[in-house]
Chain A
Amino acid sequence: MKPMLRLEGLRKSFGGLRVTDEVSFEIQPQEIAAIIGPNGAGKTTLFNQITGYLAPDGGHVFLEGQEIAGLTPQKIVKMGVGRAFQIASIFPDETALDNVRAACMSKLNQTRHLWRPVERFNRATEQAFAVLASLGLERQADRMAYELAHGDQKLLDIGIALVLEPKLLLLDEPTAGMSPEERQLTRQLIKQLWAQYKLTLIFIEHDMDMVFGIAERIMVLNHGALIADGTPGEIRNNKEVITAYLGEEA
């Protein structure tokens, strides 16, 4: 079976700064993997290259064997890569329902209809509700997205990605800025979504409970380079990782 995602010698620099340094790895279908690393390690930049937001300077990105490096985000999304952002990326002046429904209509190729009102698109509406429900947001459906609590906005961002029915879902710090209780809930929720939607899931996280709690595999980035890749048990005892986190002198 072809790997869901394969990176080969991916490179990216900003000016003189190497932000992605010869990164290579493979992710198998229905894996759940975490990417960790100190602030500024280049985690988000890696996602940006996989999803087409940034073009890599060199190297390859294969989605199920097909090269996607350098394609536009639209194309990559349509090929089945969904993404939620470090800072919730939502449509603030639309209702939570319309946030998800817009994405759903995009997937169903209904965004060119310019006569029938949005509410009359039953299939999109049902699917949007189903996703909101699976995130526990069904009671917020009619509220404006900007009115939602921070944690709910993060979930809504995931909902927008999820309704696109991605094969591969990339989550950038899904619990960033959440309270400990919210983190706990979100952690369970993500694990559950992963199983329910049969996703291949890669998430970036600083919350170690979440990383060691639900990831089957952990990759560690430091200064743009992949310095470790293994099971939670292997990573926990990796000297290099400990040094990276505690500083060179430790």
Chain B
Amino acid sequence: MASSSKYKFGLLWSVGFVAFALVPVLMTSRYQMNLASHILIWGLFAVAFNMLWGVTGMLSFGQALYFGIGAYSIGLFVNHAGKAWYLPAIPIGLVAAAMLSFLLGLLVIRVSGVYFTMLTLAFAQLAWQVTFKWYDFTGGDDGIQGIIAPGILANKMVYYYFVLVVVFISVWFLKRLAYSPFGLILRCVQQNPNRVRFIGRSVKMNQLRIYVISSVFAALAGSLMVGVDNSIHTDMLFWTTSGEVILMSVLGGINQFFGPFVGAVILILLEDIIGAKTEFWPIFLGTIVLIFVILFPKGVVGEIQHLRHRLKIAGESGGRHETHASA
């Protein structure tokens, strides 16, 4: 069983990679490649976020902060120190995100549940306010425009493949992490934090570690975004950005590793199709959220798997009932 699912997974992985790799070849417009880049980057962001929520049970409403750090690191260095700083600014941004998430993490993990959610939100909004108000340094509400990646990365096609490779490697790393002993402990932290203490592990320490890791990947996603849009804006730090990855995760399914990625695909395509036709996209989005939260809390991937599982059981034994005990 393990080997067949591994094989299936490898197949899925290759199909996904090839599909995305073919986008520049099959596309009919620049715009489609742009859309595909957005999907890849948001997919990475959402998968990294879900390591916090779906895996560890920490619903952060402030990951936009780190997404913004990744982007603004490049923007600010290029703007204030010169074009040569574009590439060095990426690792600098990642390190900055790691350090900040470590320090803030020490604070926010002191509380749990909704307190955690709201505190992460408050810190991210604080960063947004600073960015918004500090016009001389950050460009305030104007953001920073015309940031061009150096060398061959300035070529949109090359940059697309650059994004593709970085995203796939990152997601692969996170996938390995999810199924490693560390990932197992994280799931245990969500399911029964008390028991985790009684097997000799610190709940807070593990929460802090994944908070830092998830935030660094959020920053990486933010830094990749710069070369796609060639500009950055305070909206990247705004709370709706944090909300977006949460929605992607729910749409796709928070209990499946690839759920959030699928959610990113769905949400971005929907936004592209519906958002173009109406000013009132948020009403649609809000309605979709209500429908999923109330009727399909497992998300698209989760509900499909659930259905397949049910069909399989019905096929095997003529319908056996499942009981689900809670913790």
Contacts and interface: CB of A to CB of B under 8 A. Distances in A.
Interface of A: 51, 72-74, 77-78, 83, 89-94, 98, 101-103, 105-107, 110-119, 121, 124, 146-147, 160-161, 164
Given A102-B184, A111-B185, A118-B179, 7 more contacts: A74-B202, A94-B187, A105-B185, A113-B182, A116-B180, A118-B180, A118-B184
A91 B197 contact: no
B191 A91 contact: yes
Contacts of B198: 51, 73, 77, 83, 89, 161
A114 B192 contact: no
A115 B197 CA distance: 23
B188 A91 contact: yes
Smallest CB-CB A-B distances: 10 pairs: A77-B200, A103-B199, A114-B182, A73-B197, A146-B325, A106-B199, A114-B177, A91-B191, A89-B195, A114-B180
B195 A74 contact: no
Contacts of A78: 200
Nearest to A146: B325
Max chain B Cβ within 10 angstroms of own Cβ: one of A93, A160, A164: A93
B182 A112 contact: yes
B200 A117 contact: no
- Interface size range on B against A: 20 to 34
Contacts of A51: 198
Contacts of A160: 195, 199
A102 B186 CA distance: 10
Contact of A111 (B176, B181, B191): B181
A115 B177 contact: yes
B200 A90 contact: no
B200 A106 contact: yes
Given A91-B188, A91-B191, A91-B192, A111 B182 contact: yes
23 contacts: A72-B197, A73-B197, A73-B198, A77-B197, A78-B200, A90-B192, A91-B192, A92-B191, A93-B187, A93-B191, A102-B181, A102-B199, A106-B201, A111-B185, A114-B176, A114-B182, A115-B180, A117-B180, A118-B180, A118-B183, A118-B184, A146-B324, A161-B198
A106 B185 contact: yes
B229 to A, nearest CB: 32
Nearest to B195: A89
B327 interface: yes
Contacts of A118: 179-181, 183-184
Max chain A Cβ within 10 angstroms of own Cβ: one of B177, B184, B194, B325: B184
A91 to B, nearest CB: 5
A83 B181 CA distance: 22
B257 to A, nearest CB: 13
B169 to A, nearest CB: 13
B110 to A, nearest CB: 15
Contacts of B327: 92
Given A105-B181, A121-B181, A91 B187 contact: yes
Nearest to B2: A119
A74 B197 CA distance: 5
B200 A114 contact: no
A112 B194 CA distance: 19
B326 interface: yes
A19 to B, nearest CB: 19
Contacts of B200: 74, 77-78, 106-107, 164
A49 to B, nearest CB: 14
B326 A92 contact: yes
Given A74-B202, A102-B199, A110 B181 contact: yes
Max chain A Cβ within 10 angstroms of own Cβ: one of B180, B194, B199, B324: B199
A133 to B, nearest CB: 20
Max chain A Cβ within 10 angstroms of own Cβ: one of B187, B202, B325: B325
B321 to A, nearest CB: 11
Max chain A Cβ within 10 angstroms of own Cβ: one of B323, B326, B327: B327
Contacts of A98: 184
Contacts of A112: 181-182
Contacts of A113: 180-182
Max chain A Cβ within 10 angstroms of own Cβ: one of B183, B201, B202: B201
B255 to A, nearest CB: 8
A69 B1 CA distance: 47
B54 to A, nearest CB: 11
B299 to A, nearest CB: 16
Contacts of B181: 102, 105, 110-114, 116, 118, 121, 124
A164 B199 contact: yes
A101 B184 contact: yes
A114 B191 contact: no
B213 to A, nearest CB: 8
